[in-house]
Amino acid sequence: MIRPRNWPLLCLLGLALAAPAHPAKAQDREPGFYASLTGMYVVPRDIEIAVGAGSVDFSFDNGMGILGAFGYRSGTGLRAEFEIGHRQTDFDELGPIKLDGEFDTLSFMLNGVVDFDIGTAVRPYVGGGFGAVRQKADLEAVSVEVGGQTRRVETPVSESETDIAYQGMIGVGYPLTGRADIHLGYRFFGILEDESYRAHNFEAGFRYRF
């Protein structure tokens, strides 16, 4: 059965298969350094937090993010890169309590990526990475409905911490010139700790080979 959560992957595969034939140029295969800039639409997952014998959901609004990377691509399509990323989302709810505040992450990742030459202009890629992430939470106020009325309490709290992060990515690239290309993709980003931040990221970006 086709489920909505599989649609991003199916769309990327469809783009690759529908692309016109595009024999690889020698310049496309040349090893070298590159830099990339990527924008993201961030969809955080709810966090289920244990409370006594039960649990409550800690939810976020969707947000935006940006990535910058510098790396090296071999002649076989293997890439290694260092990446810095920033994501910003707003808090939504903690069970019945409405939260007013922001959640930011600043990540520093080492990634390994493989580009596949399938004989078309579009080139699929897959990859993954590990690194560190700095989380910062700024909670300004909480609101709860009591007797049909909403009560709001100001709670100026700011906390931050550093944790280990991981990610997996998949997407397609399309050449604009012999050295520049654009890419569309999806990545899952998470923190290696229970009851922690994890997010789906839908992205588009530009990469230039030196």
Cα 21 to Cα 174: distance, rounded to the nearest angstrom = 12
Q: What is the mean pLDDT of residues 19-23?
A: 49
**Which band of pLDDT confidence, cut at 50, 70 and 90, is reported for residue 25?**
low
Q: Domains of the chain: which residue ranges?
A: 4-209
- pLDDT surpasses 60 at 33: yes
Cα 112 to Cα 73: distance, rounded to the nearest angstrom = 10
Cα 192 to Cα 179: distance, rounded to the nearest angstrom = 36
CA dist list (Å): 205 to 21, 65, 202 = 23, 12, 10
Q: Does domain 4-209 have CATH number 3.30.420.40?
A: no
Could you report the per-residue pLDDT of 152-191, keeping only the tens digit for each? 888 888 899 999 999 999 999 999 988 899 999 999 999 9
CA dist list (Å): 133 to 9, 139, 163 = 26, 19, 5
The whole-chain average pLDDT of the chain stands at 85
pLDDT at 153: 84
Could you report the per-residue pLDDT of 71-121, keeping only the tens digit for each? 999 988 899 999 999 999 999 988 888 889 999 999 999 999 999 988 888
Least confidently predicted of 26-40, 108-122, 131-145, 164-178:
26-40
Concatenate the DSSP letters of all residues of the chain into one string. Answer: ---GGGHHHHHHHHHHHHSPB-PPPHHHH--EEEEEEEEEEEEEPPEEEEETTEEEEEEE--EEEEEEEEEEE-TTSEEEEEEEEEEEEEEEEETTEEEEEEEEEEEEEEEEEEE---SBS-EEEEEEEEEEEEEEEEEEEEEEEETTEEEEEEEEEEEEEEEEEEEEEEEEEEESSSSEEEEEEEEEEEESSTT--EEEEEEEEEEEE-
- What is the pTM assigned to this prediction? 0.81
